[in-house]
Chain A
Amino acid sequence: MKCYYCGARLNRTNTCPACRRNVYVWKRAKFVSNFLYNDGLELAKRRDFTGATESLVTSLQYDKRNTTARNLLGLIYYEIGEWYQAAAQWNISLSYEPEENPAAAYLEELQDSTSQVEQTNQAIRKYNQCLQYCQQKNYDLAQIQLKKVFELNPNFLKGYQLAALLQMREGAFDEAMNLLKQAAKIDRRNPDTRAYINECRKHLTKDGKLIEPEKKKTKSLKELFMGFQDRVVVAAVTNIAIGVVAGLAVFGFLILPAMRHSNTVQNSKELIAANEASAAKDQQITSLEQQIEDMQKQVEDMQAQVDTEKGNTDSVLARIESYNNLITAYDEVNNKDYYYAQEDLEKVNRDDLDESSADAYDALENKIERNIQALEEESGGSDEESSGDDSGE
């Protein structure tokens, strides 16, 4: 064992005989690193590459210059198809120990020929392309690409896991199980491989065949539709029915409301026109009623006027009658028909006479009274004479 600081050969003490520095921590770290390397080697021999990788990575955390552990780690990466990781570890190993390092031979084999390098890169590129297809959800293309990767890199562990995952996604658990068995041959105790295998076993029988899912009692709409499609006549009738229903729906939701709206608008317009006509009629009626009132008033005025005139006419007639009776009484007085004259004079309304006629009436009345009185006196004297004659006999 050489000193960590100066490279001198160490003894059993914890102090370097050359540089006199304390190498206790370094010795312990070196011891643990070697212990873990041995553990990783055993696991690698059993093809438990996952466990071996963990041990070797931890070993290098204790001593990064443990080129033996690093070279073995590179070999494991190479074996599981991680060629980039393998080349990286060998390059680092060479950087710490350029002389007498097997990593140089490993790298030379990996990068010796151009065709080998190209083949390696092609496998890596196809794998990266496959991951892109998966992200784009082109899973069929991803599976095709993975098959090409396996041709170039038959021990690509992650490739088998990815291929199995794609098969499981489509429900092909039997195919996935075959791929996972390939992966388990490469790395026996890989945790991802085991998890996928456990998942596949849930869907497989003991013989490795797919467990058929329980028949659904009720069919999905899609299955019903697909069933209908098989029957041409039923499909045609169904399509026609769908078309009729669609047409009715369009009529009911689009055309009918539009028609109703149009009728409503028309009715509204007619109603407005009718209201306007009615208003005009009302106005006309009001006007006519006013005219009627005016005319009635005129009639009443005229009637009053007529009545007045009639009254006037009656009074005129009465006056005429009075004058006629006065004249008649005057004539009868002249004819000495005093009694008739008195009757006619009584028919005369003195108020209807003018002043001179009224004087004439008064004079005539006095004359008629004197004359009648005279006649009555004469008639009384003659009666006494006749009654004396009757008694003297």
Chain B
Amino acid sequence: MLNFEEELKKFEPSPEIEEADNAIYQQDLTDIMDIAEQLVEASRR
């Protein structure tokens, strides 16, 4: 049996279109290459 309140929590408000320009600053854009770079830098120290 579905729990209505729990299911309702999955629905979150959406920002407006104008705010999409700042998405590059809000999202985590780390990829595996960034992690590899960090590991290499750490090993060099």
Seen from chain A, the residues whose Cβ lies within 8 Å of a Cβ on chain B are 4, 25-26, 29, 60-65, 82-84, 87-92, 95, 110-111, 117, 120-121, 124-125, 127-128, 131, 134, 158, 161-162, 165, 168-169, 192, 195-196, 199
| Alpha-carbon distance A336/B20, docked complex (angstroms) | 182
Q: Is the CB of A120 within 8 A of B17?
A: yes
- Check if B2 sits within 8 Å of A91, measured CB to CB: no
Tell me whether A60 and B17 are in contact in the complex, defined as CB-CB below 8 angstroms, given that A162-B11, A168-B2 are known contacts.
no
Bound complex: CA of A65 vs CA of B24, how far in Å? Answer: 12
Out of A4, A162, A196, which one reaches B2, CB within 8 Å?
Answer: A196
Q: Is B43 an interface residue (CB 8 A)?
A: no
Q: In the complex where A127-B14, A128-B14 touch, is A88 in contact with B27 (Cβ < 8 A)?
A: yes
Q: Which B residue sits closest to A32, measured CB to CB?
A: B32
Contacts of B2 in A (CB 8 A): 165, 168, 195-196, 199
Q: Once A and B bind, how many residue pairs between them come within 8 Å at the CB atom?
A: 90
The 7 closest A-B pairs by CB, nearest first: A88-B23, A87-B20, A64-B31, A128-B13, A88-B20, A29-B32, A121-B16
CA distance A89 to B26 in the complex (A): 12
Bound CA span A27–B20, Å: 31
Residues of B within 8 A of A (CB): 1-2, 4, 7-8, 10-21, 23-24, 27, 29-34, 36
Q: Which residues of A contact B12 (CB under 8 A)?
A: 131
**Minimal beta-carbon separation of A45 from chain B (angstroms):** 25
Contacting residue for A111 out of B1, B8, B17, B24, CB 8 A: B17
On whether A83 and B11 interact (CB within 8 A), knowing A62-B31, A196-B2, the answer reads: no
Inter-chain pairs besides A63-B32, A87-B23, 18 sampled, C-beta below 8 Å? A29-B36, A61-B31, A63-B33, A64-B30, A65-B31, A83-B14, A87-B20, A88-B23, A92-B27, A110-B17, A120-B16, A127-B13, A128-B14, A162-B11, A165-B2, A165-B8, A195-B2, A199-B1
Which residues of chain B come closer than 8 Å to A125, judged between CB atoms?
Answer: 16
Complex CA–CA separation, A82 to B17 (angstroms): 10
- Contact between A84 and B24, CB atoms less than 8 A apart: no
Q: How distant is the Cα of A110 from the Cα of B10 in the complex, in angstroms?
A: 26
In the bound complex, what is the Cα–Cα distance between A134 and B7 (angstroms)?
12
Beta-carbon nearest neighbor of B12 in chain A? A131
Q: Are B1 and A92 in contact (CB under 8 A)?
A: no
Q: Which residues of B contact A92 (CB under 8 A)?
A: 23-24, 27, 29
Q: Is the CB of A87 within 8 A of B1?
A: no
A95–B30 Cα distance when bound, in Å, is 15
Whether B11 and A131, one on each chain, are in contact in the complex, defined by CB atoms closer than 8 angstroms, is yes
Once A82-B14, A84-B20, A110-B17 are accepted as A-B contacts, the answer to whether A60 and B33 lie under 8 Å apart by CB is no
- 17 A-B pairs, CB-CB below 8 angstroms? A26-B33, A61-B31, A62-B32, A64-B29, A64-B31, A84-B15, A90-B20, A110-B17, A117-B17, A124-B14, A124-B15, A124-B17, A127-B13, A128-B13, A131-B12, A192-B7, A199-B2
